[in-house]
Amino acid sequence: MEALEVLGGYPTKPLNPRARMVRVLLSMTVCMGCLLMLHSFLKISKSRKPQDFYSFEVKDAKGRSVSLERYRGKASPLAQASLVVNVASHSEHTEMNYRSLQELHQELGTSHFNVLAFPCGQFGETEMSASRDIEAYAKNTYGVTFTIFSKVKIMGSEAEPAFKFITDSVKKVPKWNFWKFLVNPEGQVVRFWKAEEPVDSVRQEAITMVRQIILKKRTEL
């Protein structure tokens, strides 16, 4: 008796074929249940994938997380359109674009329209290193009041997800600074412009979209 206790007790009897089969079926059932749970989890995760531009979160110039939902306009009397731009502080297009974008931002007003700037340093030495410096430079030099986010990458595997949504939508990646992407209140990209294209064209499209937003809202009142 003592010898058996030292060895861990009495030897167990071998399972009969029926019991062995029950154990195998039970193991298979547990495994199948785990697989079904994993499938459900992956399906839910996929369904939660951002479906529009405003579904993403980004960093502001101070490194704080910001939900782009605030620019959709749900909380305001009117929905909003956005002009998303990859900006740079030391490009040949900087002065003309910053001044034109600021004029457009003021003209259409933040109740209906926003310019959303994403600094990018992937085009040579056209952008500074620190996001706060980029924001301060734009405000102090060009009087910019529209939102400037943290510096991001817009190309390659490290591209900012929100901006990748933009480029994937139009199947185009900017070749240089100051490409512009017009986003409607539903968070979908409806048109884009290259840096060298006239800002007047951007202005006309933005004004048209804002008018449509206002008319739609009036019909709903």
- Residue 132 structure tokens: 């706060």
Task: Write the CA distances from 93 to 49, 142, 194, integer angstroms.
Answer: 35, 13, 11
- For 85, the 3-state DSSP assignment is strand
Q: Looking at 24-38, 82-96, 154-168, 194-208, which range is the least confident one?
A: 24-38
Structure confidence at residue 218 (pLDDT): 80
Q: Looking at 5-14, 80-89, 94-103, 138-147, which range is the least confident one?
A: 5-14
Reported as a pLDDT band with limits 50, 70 and 90, residue 76 is low
Structure confidence at residue 216 (pLDDT): 83
**Nearest Cα residue to 145 out of 154, 135, 157:** 135
Question: Does 14 share its domain with 69?
Answer: no
Structure confidence at residue 80 (pLDDT): 87
Question: Does 16 share its domain with 98?
Answer: no
172 pLDDT higher than 60 = yes
Residue 186 corresponds to which amino acid?
Answer: E
Structure confidence at residue 6 (pLDDT): 45
14 pLDDT higher than 90 = no
Reported as a pLDDT band with limits 50, 70 and 90, residue 7 is very low
Question: Does 82 share its domain with 23?
Answer: no
Structure confidence at residue 177 (pLDDT): 97
Q: What is the mean pLDDT of residues 70-98?
A: 86
Question: Does 119 share its domain with 178?
Answer: yes
Question: Does 164 share its domain with 199?
Answer: yes
Question: Does 28 share its domain with 88?
Answer: no
Contact 82, 183 (CB under 8 A): yes
Q: Looking at 26-35, 66-75, 139-148, which range is the least confident one?
A: 26-35
Number of domains the chain contains? 2
Q: Which domain holds residue 15?
A: 2-47
Question: Does 204 share its domain with 101?
Answer: yes
Structure confidence at residue 220 (pLDDT): 74
Question: Does 61 share its domain with 145?
Answer: yes
Q: Which residues contact 181 (CB under 8 A, 6 or more apart)?
A: 83, 84, 85, 166, 169, 170, 189, 191, 192
Ramachandran angles phi, psi of 181, nearest 5°: -130, 120
Q: Out of 10, 28, 47, pick the residue that ends a domain.
A: 47
Question: Does 30 share its domain with 91?
Answer: no
Structure confidence at residue 39 (pLDDT): 54
Reported as a pLDDT band with limits 50, 70 and 90, residue 77 is low
Q: What is the mean pLDDT of residues 43-66?
A: 80
Question: Does 29 share its domain with 86?
Answer: no
